[in-house]
A and B are shown apart, each in its own frame.
Chain A
Amino acid sequence: MNLSLNRRSFLTASSALVVAYAMNGPAKAQNPPGPPHKRRGVDAKQVDSYFVINADGTVTLYSGKVDLGTGHRIALPQIVADELGIEIERIAMIEGDTHLTPDQGSTSGSNGMMRGGVQTRQAAATARAALIKLGAARLGLPEADLDTAQGEVRAKNGSASVTFAALLAGGQFNLELDSKAPRRKPSEYRYVGKPVRRPDMPGKATGAHVWMHDFAVEGMLHGRSIYPPRPGARLVSVDEASIADIPGVKVVRIKDYLGVVAEREWHAEKAARQLKAQWDGGGLVTTSAQAQAYLRETGPRDTDEVAEKTGDFDAAWPQAVTKIKADYHWPMQSHASLGPSCAIADVRDGEATIWTASQGTHKFAEAFDGILQLPKGKVRQIYLDGAGCYGMNGHDDAAIDAAILSRAVGKPVRVQWSRADELAWDPKGPPQTLTIEAGLDGNQRVSTWRAHMWIPRPTPKLPNVPLVSPQLAGLPQMQGVATGSINIGAVPTYDIPHMEAVVHYVKDTPVRTSPLRAPGKLANLMAAESMMDALALGAGKDPLAFRLDHLKDPRSLDVLKKTAELHDWRPRVEPRRDGKGRGVAFTHYKGNETYVAMAVDVEVDRGTGAIRVTRVSCAHDCGQVISPDGVRAQIEGCLIQGVSRTLFEETRFDRERVTSVDWSSYRVIAFPEVPELKIALIDRPDKPPVGAGEAAIAPVAAAISNAVFDATGVRLQSAPFTPQRVRAAMAQSGTTAG
C-alpha cells in the first residue's frame, strides 16, 4: 500500500500548534516565543498527553519521540491509525515540544518504537476503549457490539455510528494509560506492517522542508562561538580591533567563553574566524595514537567490575584443549553529522524558548533551566529536524551557545557550528580496548570465554552529556562521562558454559564522549565474533555452521540460516587467502532485543592493503515490523555507516586538539565504495517491536574482519582497517604481497 499523508490535513488540524512544528512549507518568520499556544499536560502516563480529538474529525498526535530522519514520523501514525481506527491522513503529529508533547524520554538507543511506539499504542488502545464506551452510551448499544473505524464508533452490524468528534471534540479523556486495554489483532491492521510513504519526503526532495537550519524568527541575530584552541585553555585577552572591518559585530565574553553576534550570518562567521584572542594553557591528556595505552595503563584507574558471569571460567579454563587469546582496539569516532549543529534561542524576561534538533528536548529543557539558572519549567524546547545524529552530537551544545548569546544581547540568536566545530567538538564515541581469551573442549565446542574490557566509566546518574560552553562560561552543570552501555556484547549469547566479562574502568576520556550508534557494540562484536571465527577454525568447522552449533534459540538460528540463503553461503573451513573473502557475524542485540546476522564479501588489494566491501547480506528480526520500508532504510543506513566506521573513521588528536576536522581528515564512505546490499526482514507480528535503528550496525566490523581473514589469512583487530594496518598485519604474519 502506498499512502501518503496529506499535507493539507496536517496543516489544517490544530494549525496554531503545527506552525511551531513546522514540518513542511516555507520557513516562516515567527514572533518569539512562538505562536500562541496553551501549555499542555506532558505526563506520559495520561492519555490526554498523546491525543486531541478535533472538531473537524482529525486527531492531533503528540509525540515525545522525534523523527531524526528515521521515519518515526510515519511509523507512529501507522500504529495510532490502526489502534484508534482512523485514516492515517487524518492524523497530524507534533514532535518534541516540551510544552505540548508527552515526556517520553530521549529518542535514543533505538527506543523510538520499542518504548515510544509501544507506549503510544497503549495510549491509543486506552483511548479507543474509552471512545467505544462513550459510543455505547450515545448509541444505546452494548460495547461488545461496537468497533471503531474511519474516525467513528460503529455498530459491527452497520446499524449505527457516531464520529469521534461528536463524542469528544474539545473534551478530554482524563484516563491513565491502561496496559489491559484491548489491542487490535495483527489481522485487523490496515497500516502497520505495510510500507506507507513518509510525509516529509516531497519537502525534502524539493527544498521545501524546513530543517532547524532553515528556521528563522523575527529580529534574530546570528551567533558563533569561538572555542579555545586547546580544551581547558583560559581566555587571556581579546583583540576586538582585529574585526573592526566587519560591520555590526558584537563580541560576547563570559569568563572563558567567547562568542560573536552579528545581524548578517556571514559577518558572524567571518568575525569568528578573524577575531584574535590570546589563550593560555589547556590541552589533551593523551593522543589518539596512544589511546589504547591510555585505557590499559596510563589513564587514571577506576575500580574493576565483573559485568557478566556464567559458570566458572577459572575452574574450567585449565581443561580447555585449544586456547586462543587476542587483543582488539576501537578508536574514538565522531557522529560526523552532515549538517553542523544548529539552534535558535530566545532568552528574555526570565524565560527561554529554544528551537533545537535535540534528541531529548524534555531532558535538556530541564538541564537548561539549571544552566541558565531559571526557575524550573521556564525553558521551552521545540524540536525541528536537524542533520542526522546517531547518538548525541552537538545539537544541544549549539542550543546552549545560542541561549548564552541570546541572554547576553537580549535578542533571539541563531548559532550554527562550522564543519571544524562539529568534527572537533561534537561528543565522540568512546575509545575501547579488549582482550578475549577462549577455549575449546575435547568435543571441539567452545567451553570457556573471558573478555577483559578497558573503557571509560560512565558517570552514574549523569542527567545529560555535559555541554562545552557552560563549562567555559562558568555556568552550573553536572560534570561527568557519558558513553552509553559500552560494556555489553563482549560476552556472546552462544551456548557456552563458562563465561565472564571483566571491565577495567578508566576515570576519564581523552575527548568528551556520548553514546554513538550501537554504543560499544561494533568493538565488542568485532572482538567476540572474530574470536568465534578463530575458534571455528580451531575446531575445523565452517564459521556459519559453528555458530549454528552453539545456538538453540530459533530466532537466532533463523537469522543465520536466512543470511546463508541470501548470501549463497558455501561451507568452508580454511581461509582462501587469494585476496577475496567472505565473513559472517551474528548478534542478539543486547541479549534481549533485535536478532541480526550478516555475511559480507571483501576484496583485499594485497599490494596496497586497500579493502573493498563488495556485498553485504543481512537478515534482521526486530519482532513486529511496523513500517517495513522504514526498517529497511534503517538497516541500509546501519550497514553503510558500519562499513564507513570500520574501514575509514578515526577521530585523531594530538596533545593539543582534535586534528581530524574536515571531510578529508575525517573521511567517511563515498558512493563508489558502497557495497551491494541484500536485506531480509523477518516479521514477527505476534512479538513486540524492538529497535531497528542500531542493531544492524553492531556486527559489521566483525563480519568485515572475518572476511578479510578469509581473503588474506590475517586477522585485523584494530579499527579502522586502513591500508597501512592491512599491510602491517600481512607483513607481521609473513603473508606476502600479491
Chain B
Amino acid sequence: MARYVLEVNGQAKAVEVHDPQEPLLYVLRNDLRLTGAKYGCGLGQCGACTVIIDGEAVRSCLTPISSAKGKITTIEGLGTPQKPHAVQAAFIEEQAAQCGYCTNGMVMTTAAFLDKSKSPSASDVRDALAANVCRCGTHDRVVKAALRAASAK
C-alpha cells in the first residue's frame, strides 16, 4: 500500500492505493467521489474519462496513480450547476447532451482546447474533438457550444 498526495481542484488529497498501476480514474471516482469523469473504454479511445492536468486534457483511464503528478482539474473543479465555467454554461445554453455520458470528455477537452485556441473555427473544434466519441449524435450541439464558449471569452 502506498500513499499518494494528489492536487485535485486546488486541494491536496491523500489516498492509499495498493497497485501503483491503478488508473487515476478509479481513484478519483471511488476514493475522492469525484464521479464526473467516466469510464468509457479504459483504452484512451473515447475521452469520457478526460481530466485536465497542468493545462493538458489527459485520459485518466490510462494515467497510473503513480504518475498522476501536477495540478489536476476535474469537471467538478471547473464549475458547478450554480456557478458554471464558460464552457459548461455554453453546453447548458445549447442543451448539448442527450444521455450526457460523454459530456465530461467534451467539456474538459473543449476547456483545455479553448485555453490555447482563442478564436477557433467550427472545423478547428471538430478536429480538437476528433478523438472524443459521442454515441447519441449530439456532435452538432457540442460544436455550437464550443464556439459559443469561445466567443464568450
Q: Please give the residue numbers on chain A whose beta carbons come within 8 Å of chain B beta carbons, in ascending order.
A: 7, 24, 26-27, 68-71, 197-198, 200-211, 213-214, 216, 246-247, 264-267, 269-270, 336-340, 385-388, 416, 418-419, 629, 633, 636-641, 644, 662-664, 668-672, 674, 677
B139 nearest CB across to chain A (Å): 4
When chains A and B are docked, how far (Å) is the Cα of A269 from the Cα of B45? Answer: 18
Residue of B nearest to A640 (CB): B137
CB pair A387–B101 under 8 Å, yes or no, is yes
Residue of B nearest to A198 (CB): B95
Q: State in angstroms the CA–CA spacing of A633 and B123 once bound together.
A: 21
Given contacts A633-B138, A677-B140, contact A202 B98 (CB under 8 A): no
CB distance from A668 to the nearest CB of B (A): 6
B80 near A208 with CB under 8 A, answer yes
> Which of the residues B19, B38, B78, B130 comes within 8 Å of A670, measured between beta carbons?
B130
Other A-B pairs, 16, CB within 8 Å; known A265-B26, A339-B38, A636-B137: A201-B97, A206-B75, A206-B84, A213-B38, A267-B18, A337-B101, A338-B48, A339-B39, A339-B40, A387-B99, A388-B98, A633-B95, A637-B137, A662-B43, A663-B45, A671-B130
Tell me if B150 is interfacial: C-beta within 8 Å of chain A: no
Q: Which of B79, B80, B102, B136 contacts A641 (CB 8 A)?
A: B136
Which of the residues B18, B92, B97, B137 comes within 8 Å of A264, measured between beta carbons? B18
Give Cα distance in the complex from A234 to B132, angstroms: 38
CB pair B103–A388 under 8 Å, yes or no, is no
Asked if A206 and B80 sit within 8 Å, CB to CB, the answer is yes
Query: Which one of A208, A210, A267 has the greatest number of beta carbons of chain B within 10 Å?
Result: A208
- B-chain residues with CB within 8 Å of residue A419 when the two chains form the complex: 40-43, 45
Q: Which residues of A contact B29 (CB under 8 A)?
A: 214, 265
Q: In the complex, what distance in Å separates the CA atom of A582 from the CA atom of B72?
A: 48
Alpha-carbon distance A201/B107, docked complex (angstroms):
13
Count: A-B pairs, CB below 8 Å: 188
Q: How large is the interface on B (under 10, 10 to 19, 20 to 34, 35 or more residues)?
A: 35 or more
User: Which residues from chain A contact B126 at a C-beta distance below 8 Å?
Assistant: 671-672, 674
Interface centre among B19, B39, B76 (most CB of A within 10 A): B39
Which residues of chain B from 68 to 114 have any CB-CB distance to chain A below 8 Å in the complex?
Answer: 74-76, 78-81, 84, 88-89, 91-92, 95-104, 107
Q: Which residues of A contact B138 (CB under 8 A)?
A: 633, 636-637
- 25 A/B residue pairs, CB under 8 Å, sorted by A: A7-B81, A68-B99, A69-B136, A197-B92, A201-B95, A202-B92, A204-B91, A205-B100, A207-B74, A214-B29, A247-B18, A264-B18, A264-B30, A339-B40, A385-B99, A385-B100, A419-B40, A419-B43, A633-B95, A641-B137, A669-B139, A671-B125, A671-B139, A671-B142, A677-B140
Tell whether, in the assembled complex, residue A206 and residue B26 are in contact, meaning their CB atoms are under 8 Å apart. Answer: no
User: Which residues on the A side are within 8 Å of B91 (C-beta)?
Assistant: 201, 204-205
Closest 7 CB pairs of A and B: A207-B36, A69-B99, A640-B137, A388-B99, A637-B137, A204-B100, A214-B35
User: With the chains together, A62 CA to B39 CA distance in Å?
Assistant: 31
A266 close to B22 (CB less than 8 A) = yes
On whether the beta carbons of A266 and B98 are closer than 8 Å, the reply is: no
* Complexed CA–CA distance, A205 and B145 (Å): 11
The yes or no answer to B46 lying at the interface (CB within 8 A) is: yes
Which of chain B's residues has its CB closest to A247's CB?
B18
- Chain A residues contacting B104 (CB-CB under 8 Å) are 207
Distance in Å from the Cβ of A388 to the closest Cβ of chain B? Answer: 4
One of B35, B80, B133 near A338 (C-beta < 8 A): B133
Question: Given the complex of chains A and B, what is the CA–CA distance between A558 and B109 in angstroms?
Answer: 41
Q: Is A202's CB under 8 angstroms from B81's CB?
A: yes
Given contacts A338-B133, A668-B135, contact A197 B39 (CB under 8 A): no
Q: In the complex, are the beta carbons of A207 and B35 less than 8 A apart?
A: yes
Candidates A206, A418, A664; contact of B76 at CB < 8 Å: A206
* B57 touches A (CB below 8 Å): no
Known: A207-B74, A640-B139. A213 touches B35 (CB 8 A): yes
* Complex: A267 Cα to B23 Cα, angstroms: 11
Task: Note all chain A residues with C-beta closer than 8 A to B79.
Answer: 206
A637 to B138, CA, bound (A): 6
Chain B residues with CB under 8 A of A339 = 38-40, 48, 99, 101
State the CA gap A209–B139 with chains docked (Å). Answer: 20
List B contacts of A338 (CB < 8 A): 40, 46, 48, 99, 101-102, 133-136
Say whether B141 faces chain A, with CB atoms less than 8 Å apart: yes
Return chain B residues, CB-CB under 8 Å to A70.
Answer: 98
Known A-B contacts A201-B91, A201-B95, A205-B84; A211 and B101 likewise in contact (beta carbons under 8 Å): yes
Chain A neighbourhood of B76, CB < 8 A: 206-208
- CB-CB < 8 A to B140: which residues of A? 636, 640, 674, 677
A671 CB → nearest B CB, Å: 4
Q: With an 8 A cutoff between CB atoms, is B62 at the interface? A: no
Give the CA-CA distance A672 to B130 in the complex, in Å: 6
From the candidates A69, A197, A206, A640, name the one contacting B36 in the complex (CB within 8 A): A206
User: Contacting B135 at CB < 8 Å: which of A247, A388, A639?
Assistant: A388
Give the shortest distance, in Å, between A81 (CB) and chain B (any CB). Answer: 19
- Of all chain B residues, the one with the shortest Cβ separation from A203 is B81
Q: Which residues in A have their C-beta under 8 angstroms from that of B84?
A: 202, 205-206
Closest residue of chain B to A200 (Cβ to Cβ) is B100
- Residues of A near B78 (CB, < 8 A) are 206
Could you tell me the distance between the alpha carbons of A122 and B76 in the complex, rounded to whole angstroms?
A: 41
The answer to whether B33 has its CB under 8 Å from any CB of chain A is yes
The minimal Cβ–Cβ distance linking A213 to chain B, given in whole angstroms, is: 6
Residue of A nearest to B104 (CB): A207
A26 touches B33 (CB 8 A): yes
- Verify A265–B98 contact, CB threshold 8 A: no
B91, B97, B102, B141 — most chain A CB neighbours (10 Å) = B97
**Contact of B143 with A by CB under 8 A:** yes
| Contact in complex: A69, B98 (CB < 8 Å) | yes
Which B-chain residue is minimally distant from A629 (CB atoms)? B95
Contacts of B123 in A (CB 8 A): 672
Contacts of A213 in B (CB 8 A): 35, 38-39, 101
Q: Looking across the interface, which residue of chain A has its beta carbon closest to that of B45?
A: A663
Whether B97 and A204, one on each chain, are in contact in the complex, defined by CB atoms closer than 8 angstroms, is yes
A24 to B136, CA, bound (A): 21
- Known contacts: A206-B79, A671-B132. The answer to whether A69 contacts B139 by CB under 8 A is no
Inter-subunit contact A388/B101 (CB<8 Å): yes
Q: Which residues of B contact A641 (CB under 8 A)?
A: 135-137
* B133 adjacent to A637 (CB under 8 Å): no
Contacts of B125 in A (CB 8 A): 671
Complex Cα gap A198–B74 (Å) = 23
Chain B contacts for A211, CB-based, 8 A:
35, 38, 100-101
Residues of A within 8 A of B40 (CB): 338-340, 387, 419
Q: Specify which chain B residues have a CB less than 8 angstroms from the CB of A629 in the assembled complex.
A: 95
Q: Which residue of A lies closest to B89 (CB)?
A: A205
Bound-complex Cα distance A391 to B97 (A): 19
Interface 1/0s, chain B 7-28, versus A by CB < 8 A?
A: 0000000000011001100100
Complex CA gap A637/B102 in Å reads 14
CB distance from A426 to the nearest CB of B (A): 12
B30's nearest neighbour on chain A, judged by CB, is A265
Q: In the complex, are the beta carbons of B141 and A633 less than 8 A apart?
A: yes
The CA of A668 and the CA of B102, in the complex, are separated in Å by: 14
